[in-house]
Structure 1
Amino acid sequence: MALTQVILVDERDQTVGTMEKLQAHREGALHRAVTVYLFNPAGQLLLQQRAREKYHCGGLWSNTCCSHPMPAEESAAAARRRLFEEMGLRVELTPVFQLYYRLPLPDGLIEHEFGHVFFGITTRMPAPDPAEAMAWRWQALPSVVAQLAREPDSFTPWFTLTMARIPEYHAAFMRARKTG
C-alpha cells in the first residue's frame, strides 16, 4: 500500500512539494489541510469522536471531518471526498475561511497546517467509517462552547483553535442560506 502524501506549502499556501503524512507531522512541516463543519437546519453542529486507533488524537471529539488534499487535488474536492470516506455523507460545501496554525500534539507530533475551512448543511444522518469515527452527535454551538470551556482535553487541539471563530461565521452562513 502506498504511503499517503500531503502537499507542503509556504505561509501563503503556495505549493512547495510533497511529503509522507506521518513524516510531515513528525517534522512539523507546513502542509495543506481541509476542515469540514456540517450543520443541520436547526444550526446544530455535527461532531465526530475520532476512532481510538487513529495515529493521533484518537478518542477525542472534533469537527465533522478533517484531512489533507492529495497531491494535485483541490481543497474543495478533498473536503468532499473525505466527508464521504469518514462520515458517509455527500453534501454541498462552501469555503468559509482559511487559517494557519502550528499546534503540538500528543506523542511529539505537530499539526503545522494551512487549513481551508468548509461549511455545509444536511438533514441526513451520518454513517461513519468505524476506522475514522467511533461516535457522532449533533450539538448546539453554545453547548459546544460551554463543553470546550469545561473539558478542553476531550477535544482535538485544532478543533479548540478553530471553534473560536466558528460562531461568527456560522451566524453569517445560516443567514445567507435563509436569504439565498
Structure 2
Amino acid sequence: MTHPPIVIVDKKDNPIGQSDMFEARRKGLIHRIVRVMIEDKDGRILLQRRSNEVYSFPNCWDHSAAGHVDVGEDYMEAAKRELAEEIGINDAELEEIGRYYTENEKGGEKIKRFNGVYRGIVDTTPTHVDPKEVGEIKWFTTEEIRKLIKDQPDKVTDGLIDVLQKYY
C-alpha cells in the first residue's frame, strides 16, 4: 500500500519539507501523526483492532483512528480524514485534547514525531471499516482498556498506552 508524502517538521513542529513515511522512519525525520479517540454518551471509547496487514502493530488494539499528517493537511484535517478512511465516521465534531512529542526506536527505525490527540463523541457504532487497516472495532470502558493493557500489553499499541496515561 502506497502512502502520500507526509509533512516533515523541525523540533518546534514547523513544517520544513516532506518525505515518504518509511524514509522518515529510517532516517529519524520528525513528522506529525494524529490519534483520535471516539467516545459514546456513556464515556466508552471505541477502539480498533488493527488488521494483520498493517506495517506496525498488526492485530493490536489501537485508538479509534490514527495516522500520519499528509502534505497539505493540518492536524485536524488529518484526524477527520483518518476517521473517515479507517472506520467510516464522517460527521464527528472533534476537539484537540493535546499534543506531545515522542522519540523511540523500533526494529532499527528512529521514530520521532509530534502526536496530535483528538476526541469526538458519536451516538452510533460505525458500520463500515477499512478491512486493510482495521480487523474489528469494539467499545471499551477506560477500566476495560486499563485491564487489557495490564493483562495483554503486547496486544495494545504504544500510542494507545501513551494517550490513556496522558489524557484519561
Moved over 4 A (4+): none
Partner SS for 2:86: helix
Larger % of helix: which?
A: 1
- Number of aligned residue pairs: give it: 166
Counterparts in 2 of 1:87-126, with a 5 A limit? 87-90=87-90, 91-105=92-106, 107-126=107-126
- Bigger shift: 122-131 or 44-53? 122-131
TM-score, normalised relative to structure 2: 0.92
Partner SS for 2:146: helix
In 1, distance between residues paired with 2:122 and 2:15?
Answer: 32
- Give the unaligned 5+ runs of structure 2: none
In 2, distance between residues paired with 1:109 and 1:123?
Answer: 39
Counterpart of 1:175?
A: none
Are the counterparts in 2 of residues 103 and 157 from structure 1 also a CA contact under 8 Å?
Answer: no
TM-score, normalised relative to structure 1: 0.86
Judging changes above 3 Å, is the alpha-carbon distance between structure 1 residues 10 and 136 closer, same or farther for their aligned structure 2 residues? same
Partner SS for 2:98: strand
Residue identity over aligned pairs, in percent, reads 27
In 2, distance between residues paired with 1:143 and 1:87?
Answer: 21
Counterpart of 1:150?
A: 151
Counterpart of 1:176?
A: none
Are the counterparts in 2 of residues 40 and 123 from structure 1 also a CA contact under 8 Å?
Answer: yes
In 2, distance between residues paired with 1:138 and 1:110?
Answer: 32
Partner SS for 1:33: strand
Judging changes above 3 Å, is the alpha-carbon distance between structure 1 residues 47 and 3 closer, same or farther for their aligned structure 2 residues? closer
| 1:43 partner letter | G
In 1, distance between residues paired with 2:146 and 2:152?
Answer: 10
Larger % of strand: which?
A: 2
- Mapped pair 1:60 → 2:60: yes
Partner SS for 1:48: strand
| 2:131 partner letter | P
In 2, distance between residues paired with 1:132 and 1:103?
Answer: 23
In 2, distance between residues paired with 1:136 and 1:2?
Answer: 24
Partner SS for 2:132: coil
